[in-house]
Chain A
């Protein structure tokens, strides 16, 4: 959108993409609830629901291709993430992990789908909310399992340490559990999506700008576009990986809260 406006003004220098490119205007009128990220999140919810409802509705013993696709995603989350990490109590957490994985994955991949091309997770508030969910769940699970006193005691006091060292270590443990974990969880996802989108903008808009230049620059611009396309595939890998890592860490935190000793 912005690039069209920008390049119609002749003689203006190249404006490198910045964080302003992420503040998109509302699509319908003046309503702040119809910005592109919010509509994309809504679309992702609809797409995920429709896909998995359709793929599981006519479940057969010999699966169709559609059913197979849905079931392999589910089996991946259930077996490779939940069962291997959490252990024998894993079935309670599969719905949350599965929702988390498909939601993040779909929203990330929107970053490279033509015409949508915006990862909603590059707005930091979406990862924050997801990290708060995870934060509440893993502490709740730990408190339910071990009782509040034992759980807090286990977080705060390492066994087998001289008493004086607790002054040094206990604050670090508390900060780790209550601040660093949710913060790094959300910022990792946010930073990867933000940087990836910015990278693609740099190459595509830069190539576009080079095409407007003198003949020598025109010859360079195909390389910029080729790099942009290559980086798009790289982005696809990063987006899948980040969805996986977010879900894996959630499962690891839950497993840590469930375990009797760390």
Chain B
């Protein structure tokens, strides 16, 4: 595997983790604050979508 590919794989992992942590964290905090239960799931989904979008922008298009 070339270094570009190794770099891409670790970057993808980092992006997905960051997206989930950041937006999921916001959802979790909103849930704690408002006493609801759906912001966490929404936040995680938003973070996942954002991270996959970012991966597509960075590695998916030519």
Contacts and interface: CB of A to CB of B under 8 A. Distances in A.
Q: When A and B assemble into the complex, do they touch directly, with CB atoms less than 8 Å apart?
A: yes
A169 B56 CA distance: 12
Interface string A232-262: 0000000000000000110010011000001
A180 B18 contact: yes
A171 interface: yes
B22 A172 contact: yes
B17 interface: yes
B10 A252 contact: yes
A184 B6 contact: no
A84 B57 contact: no
Interface residues of A, number: 23
| Majority-rule SS of B interface residues | helix
A255 B53 CA distance: 24
Interface string B13-38: 11101110111000000000000000
Interface string B37-54: 000000000110111011
Contact of B54 (A173, A180, A249): A173
B54 A252 contact: no
Given A160-B57, A165-B53, A262-B58, A172 B3 contact: no
B58 A181 contact: no
B25 to A, nearest CB: 9
| Majority-rule SS of A interface residues | helix
A249 B21 CA distance: 21
B17 A180 contact: yes
Contact of A184 (B14, B23, B49, B50): B14
B18 A168 contact: no
Contacts of B23: 171-172
A161 interface: yes
Given A180-B18, A180-B21, A184-B13, A172 B54 contact: yes
Contacts of A172: 15, 18-19, 22-23, 47, 50-51, 54
A165 B52 CA distance: 13
A168 B6 CA distance: 26
Contacts of B11: 176
A176 B50 contact: no
A179 interface: yes
A85 B3 contact: yes
A158 interface: yes
19 contacts: A158-B58, A161-B57, A165-B53, A168-B46, A169-B50, A171-B22, A172-B18, A172-B50, A175-B18, A175-B19, A176-B11, A176-B14, A176-B18, A179-B21, A180-B18, A180-B21, A184-B13, A249-B10, A262-B58
Which 8 residue pairs of A and B lie closest in terms of their CB atoms, listed nearest first? A175-B18, A176-B18, A168-B50, A180-B18, A172-B19, A180-B14, A175-B22, A252-B7
Interface of A: 84-85, 158, 160-161, 165, 168-169, 171-173, 175-176, 179-181, 184, 248-249, 252, 255-256, 262
